[in-house]
Amino acid sequence: MSEPPEQPPADGRKPVVPVPLFVAGVCLAIPFVAMLWVGSYARVTPSFIGIPFFYWYQMLWVVISTLLTVIAYVLVRRHERTRGRGAGR
């Protein structure tokens, strides 16, 4: 069963997002922004080994997205382990 959500501090302060989780969120958001900004890659030139820019740019983002997802995963797992939640999984 999952743990209950953490309660906000009693003094009325908003909970703060830890830095590793913020960085993980940014890593996951970057590919979305890059692919949604179609004007940046909706062209034919420069071509790479005969492949139009439109296609090789998107294929490059497949690799970049994979790397950023791995980084986000490692950051979240490390954060969970330091907080004692990831033990036994």
Q: Note the pLDDT of residue 5.
A: 65
Beta carbons of 88 and 27 less than 8 angstroms apart: no
Q: Note the pLDDT of residue 51.
A: 86
In the chain, domain spans: 19-83
Q: Note the pLDDT of residue 20.
A: 86
Whether the per-residue pLDDT at 86 is higher than 60: the answer is no
Backbone φ, ψ for residue 14 (5° rounding): -80, 145
pTM for the whole thing? 0.71
- Identify residue 80 by its one-letter amino acid code: E
Whether the per-residue pLDDT at 85 is higher than 80: the answer is no
Rounded CA separation 22/79 (Å): 11
Q: Which residue has the tokens 């490390």?
A: 78
pLDDT tens-place string over residues 23-82:
899 999 999 998 888 887 778 888 888 888 888 888 999 999 999 999 999 999 998 888
Beta carbons of 65 and 31 less than 8 angstroms apart: yes
- Cβ count within 10 A of residue 75: 19
